[in-house]
Amino acid sequence: MWSTRQLAELAGTTVKTVRHYHRIGVLDLPERTPNGYKQYHVAHLVRLLRIKRLTDIGLPLAQIRAMGGDDGDPDETFRALDAKLAETIERLQRIRGELAVLHEHGAPLDSPAPFGSVADGLSEQDWAVLTVCSSALPDHAVDDLRRLMAEPTDPVTDEEFDRLPEDADDATITSLAGRLAESIQRSHDRFPWMKDPRSEVTRVRELAGAAIGSAVVERFNTAQLKALALAHAQMQAQN
C-alpha cells in the first residue's frame, strides 16, 4: 500500500497529475485509512501506468475516461490514433515548410504564413496591415494579395509614394494620385473584390472592415492617405 506521493514516484509522474486524474475520473479514488490517509494498491499503480502509456502515444484523457478500465475496441482505437498522428504529422510538415519560407525571406516569426515569400523590404507597419488582412479576408483574397505583392511594380511611383512626406504640397499629391489610380485600376480589373474588400471579409463584416481600414490608416501618413483617396476618387469618376 502506498501514499499519493509514493504512487506518483512509482509511476514516474507527479502528485498533481494523480490528483488531476482523480478529479476528471480516469483514476479511481482509493479507500482511506481510519486516520484519513489514502491507500493505493497494485491495481491503482497498474491503472496509472496504463494511463501514462496511453497519453504518451497520444490518446486524449477524455477518450481514456470513456474507455473506463478496459481498452475498448482495439481496432477502433488504433484507427483513431493513426488518423490523429497522420493529421499531426501533416500539420507539423506544413509548419516546417512555412518556417523555411519565413527564414529564407527574413520574415518575422509571427508573420502570416501566406506572405512569407514576399517579406523582403516590408516594414513593421506593412506586416501589421497584412496580419489584419490575413485574418479578415478569405483564402482566395489573401492569395490574390500575395500574388500581387510578388509581381514587379513601378519602382518610381512606389518609391515616391513611400517617401511622400506628411507636409507634401497639393500639386505633388495630385500628380502622384493620378499614377496611383492607374496602378490601382489595373489591380481592380484583375481582382474585382479589391474594389470593396469589406464585401469579402470572413468575420463580422463591419468589425473586420473597420479593422482593415484602421490598419491602413495607421500605416500611412496624411499626405499618403490623401493621395490614395484622390486616386480612388479619380477611378470612380472615370467609371
Count how many domains the chain has.
2
Range of the domain at 145: 122-238
Q: How far is CA 155 from the centre of its chain?
A: 32
Domain end: 48, 68, 88, which one? 68
The chain-wide mean pLDDT, for the chain, equals: 87
Mean pLDDT to the nearest integer, 60-65: 85
φ, ψ of residue 213 in degrees (nearest 5):
-60, -40
- The model's pLDDT over 70-85, given as tens digits with 9 standing for 90+, comes to 555 677 778 878 888 8
Domain assignment present for residue 82? The answer is no
The DSSP call for residue 109 is T
Q: For 123-129, which contacts have Cβ atoms below 8 Å and span 24 or more sequence positions?
A: 125/218, 125/219, 126/219, 128/215, 128/218, 128/219, 129/212, 129/215, 129/216, 129/219
Q: Based on the fold, state whether residues 59 and 128 are members of the same structural domain.
A: no
**Which residue type occupies 69?**
G
Q: What predicted TM-score, i.e. pTM, was given to this entire model?
A: 0.60
Query: Of 27, 45, 68, which residue constitutes the final position of a domain?
Result: 68
pLDDT 10s digits, 166-175: 999 999 999 9
Q: What dihedral angle (degrees, nearest 10) is formed by the CA atoms of 221, 223, 228, 231?
A: -170
Length of the chain in terms of residues written? 239
Give the residue from 68, 85, 101 where a domain finishes: 68
Question: Is the pLDDT assigned to residue 69 strictly greater than 80?
Answer: no
Residue 48: give its domain's CATH number: 1.10.1660.10
> Within this chain, do residues 227 and 142 fall inside the same structural domain, yes or no?
yes
Choose the weakest-confidence range: 157-166, 167-176, 202-211. 202-211
- Is 100 part of any domain? no
134 and 212: one domain? yes
pLDDT grade for 229, boundaries at 50, 70 and 90: very high
Residues 147 and 234 in one domain: yes
